[in-house]
Amino acid sequence: MTEKSDLPQGTLDLLILKVVALGPVHGYAIAQRLEQVSRGVVQVPQGSLYPALHRLENRDLLASDWEETETGREAKFYRLTRKGRTQLETEAASWQRLIDAVGLVLKLSEGGVK
């Protein structure tokens, strides 16, 4: 098993938004997908997943409907609102900038900047 990392502060919202952007999905599936996609590196604390979902819904970034799953059970499906999509785009962009910047800094040779 690979080493697991804790999620940096504030990234859970971003990840949830990204997963939901792919299509309507219920809470359990979000947890599954996050774990699969990150190849088990990102461990989503399930206890904080639902409060996060409710918070995002409360901020009108997500909307929800009760629909039937393929197994015929009723579940709460989340989807992205227009506001949520904008939020996802800005946050993804700023995240990307941050990674690039951090990457640049880490690539410096140890001799110092010339």
Partner 1 sequence: MSWWQRLLRRRKMEDQLDKELRFHIEQHTSELIALGRDPQEARRQARLALGGPEQVKEKCRDARGTRWLEDLLQDFRYAIRMLGKQPGFAAVALLTLALGSGATTVMFTVVNGVLLKPLPYPEPGRLVAVHGHSDSWNTAVYGEQNVAYPDFLDCQRSSRSLAMAGFVYSGGILGEPGTPEFVDRREITSELFSVLGVPLFRGRAFLPEEDRPGGAPVIILSYSLWQRRFAGDPRTVGLSLILDDKSYTVVGITPPRFQLDGEEGDVFTALGQDTAGYLRNRRAHPVGVVARLRPGATLAQSSAELGLIGRQLAAQYPDSNAGRSFVATPLHPDVEDVRSTLWLLLGAVGLVLLIACVNVASLLLARAVSRDRELAMRVALGASRGRLVRQCLTESAVLGLSGGALGILVAAAGFRPFVQFWPGALPRADEVQLDWRVLLFALTASLVSGLLFGLAPALRAPVRDVEQTLRAGGRTMAGSSRRLHSGFVISEVALAVVLLVAAGMLGRTLLRLSSLNPGVNIRNVLVTRMALSPAALSNPAGIRAAWQDVLDRARRVPGVESIAAVDTFPMRQGENQLGYWNTPAVPPENQQPLALATSVTPDYLNVMGIPLLKGRFFDDHDRRESEPVIVIDEVLAQQAFGTQECVGKRLWIPGMSGPNWSEGNDSLRVVGVVGHVRHWGLARDDQAPVRAQFYYPFAQVPDSALRRWSELMSIAARTNIPPLNVVESLRLELRGATGGATGDQALYQVRTLEQLASNSLARQRFLLLLFGIFAGLALLLACIGIYGVLAYLTGQRVPEFGVRIALGASARDVMRLVLRQSLGMIFVGVGVGIFAALAAGRLLMHTVDGMQSTEPSTFAIMIPILTVAALLASIVPARRASRIDPVRALRQD
Among 5, 8, 36, 45, binds partner 1 (CB under 8 A): 45
Query: Residue 80 in contact with residue 21, Cβ under 8 Å?
Result: yes
Residues 21-40 that bind partner 1 (CB under 8 A): 26-28, 31
Q: Given the rule CB under 8 A, which of 1-9, 14-22, 50-58, 103-111 is the region that contacts partner 1? A: 50-58
Considering the rule CB under 8 A, would residue 46 count as an interface residue with partner 1? Answer: yes
**Is 74 among the residues that bind partner 1 (CB under 8 A)?**
yes
Neighbouring CB atoms inside 10 A of 16's CB total 27
Q: Tell me which DSSP letter residue 108 carries.
A: -
Q: Does 90 bind partner 1 (CB under 8 A)?
A: no
**What is the total residue count of the chain?**
114
DSSP character string of 8-52? PTTHHHHHHHHHHHTS-EEHHHHHHHHHHHTTTSB---HHHHHHH
The answer to whether 8 contacts partner 1 (rule: CB under 8 A) is: no
Can you give the binding site for partner 1, defined by CB under 8 A?
26-28, 31, 45-48, 50-52, 54-55, 58, 66, 73-76
